[in-house]
Structure 1
């Protein structure tokens, strides 16, 4: 009997979410068999201060489980998309812990976590369109299909950033997962087209941990120094120089229009 211990972190939203899985793998006469992992979870709404709660929550889970960080085989994190500050918080924590312990890291898309959450809540959710409110009148979205034979998600459309109206619908019955439906309502064509809508399927460390455990066993890991956020949106605000340039351009356009109007009046 061997044991895999995996720690999963997500701070991509206003929640500080931490999960610890302990999965036993037994070898019997019939070969290898895996029992359902034991799980310990902290999922707390912390707003912008997830960084102050993250490490204490990790310590609490290991104490509750009777394990230590030295027992860990891998560390997973929600790599994004999501809050820029939150993604950096999780990435920094994972890099520090994994580097210090010499552990591999499992990055997991927060959109795939939404799909995993939807399927764990409803096993018939084998085609999932995950869509999250990205603010600025846009959505993060991705399309996933569950491979029942291989026991893993297949990415039909990787994480993208679009306006709600431009989201591409799957070509078969699907579950719409995430909070975009609540944020945009009828502006989201997928809301009316979906077989079912699961607005509770959101980034959370527990479904993240289950998806990461499969990835770990499949060897889909990266070294600690290669763990990085997946922002999708590379730009959320103008620089000071860009704002000044835009203001100057608008002033120039206004001056040109005024000059054009004066010229017309002079000719009349």
Structure 2
């Protein structure tokens, strides 16, 4: 069983979670402008409670986006620094996938449409389905689209979806016309959380999907932002 630390600062929610010997420890706080102040103390608190050091872990997972450009950059940079210092491989985890995993953990949902408000009249959205291993798996691709485009893309009267995230809450009126067999809201899931990244990270680590620090990149979905790697890392 792998020991993994996960952290996420991609949205208003700031979180860190640790899986050690099958036990999960979580720190979480909604603080839109305080991620840089809160995330490292969260990590220190988790490691202290578990009685381990970073170098004792097998891998470090992080929310690679989509989400706030600034938040995704902060999370990626801090995760890179921690992993580089402890010589750990990294596991980039989709924030939308983490939300989908949360829908399964809390509501036993198996077919979901997590959506994050992308600002500028757009929404980050994707469809996820539960696989045989109990991990939410992407169907097609992650998108950044308008509410009208979401309706056009997922207008499936023969299919039922669970909905979750700030994208649905922000554009509730426009999305109310979506014609599907059934839409069920997953209460209490507005943001991704590191807790739900752990299950995905464990599966990815077991399947050899960990990457080196220099290859752990953010995913913005929008193509208008570039990312610089750590200095001296190529």
Q: Report TM bin, short chain.
A: 0.7 to 0.9
1:227 aligns with 2:227: no
- Structure 1: where are the runs of 5+ without partners? 24-36, 237-268
- The answer on 1:84 being equivalent to 2:72 is no
Task: Name the residue aligned to 1:217.
Answer: 206
Q: Secondary structure at the match of 1:100?
A: helix
Residue from 112, 115, 133 that aligns with 1:128: 112
Structural mapping, 1:22-171, within 5 Å: 22-23=20-21, 37-123=22-108, 125-147=109-131, 149-167=132-150, 168-169=153-154
Alpha-carbon distance in structure 1 between the residues aligned to 2:177 and 2:137: 20
User: Which runs of structure 1 show a deviation greater than 4 angstroms over 4 or more consecutive aligned residues?
Assistant: 189-192
Kept in 2, the 8 Å contact 1:176–1:190? The answer is no
**TM-superposition CA deviations, 1:67-115 (whole Å, max 9, x none):** 2112111000010000111111111111111112221100011000110
Could you report, residue by residue, the CA deviation over 1:161-200 in whole angstroms, capped at 9, with x for unpaired residues? 1001111225522211212221111201576634311152
* 2:4 counterpart residue number: 6
Please tell me whether the aligned partners of residues 27 and 46 of structure 2 are also in contact (alpha carbons under 8 angstroms): yes
Q: CA deviation at 1:152?
A: 2.9
1:200 aligns with 2:188: yes
Q: How many residues align?
A: 219
Task: Supply the distance in 1 between the matched residues of 2:176 and 2:13 (Cα, whole angstroms).
Answer: 28
Q: Normalising to structure 1: TM-score of the pair?
A: 0.77
SS in 2 for 1:47: coil
**Correspondence for 1:263:** none
C-alpha separation between the residues in 2 aligned to 1:219 and 1:152? 15
Alpha-carbon distance in 1 for matches of 2:133, 2:48:
35
Q: Which structure is larger by alpha-carbon Rg, 1 or 2? A: 1
**Partners of 2:7 and 2:17 within 8 A in 1:** yes
Q: Name the one with the larger helix percent.
A: 1
Bigger relative contact order, structure 1 or 2, given CA contacts below 8 A and separation 6+? 2
CA distance in 2, matches of 1:39, 1:153: 19
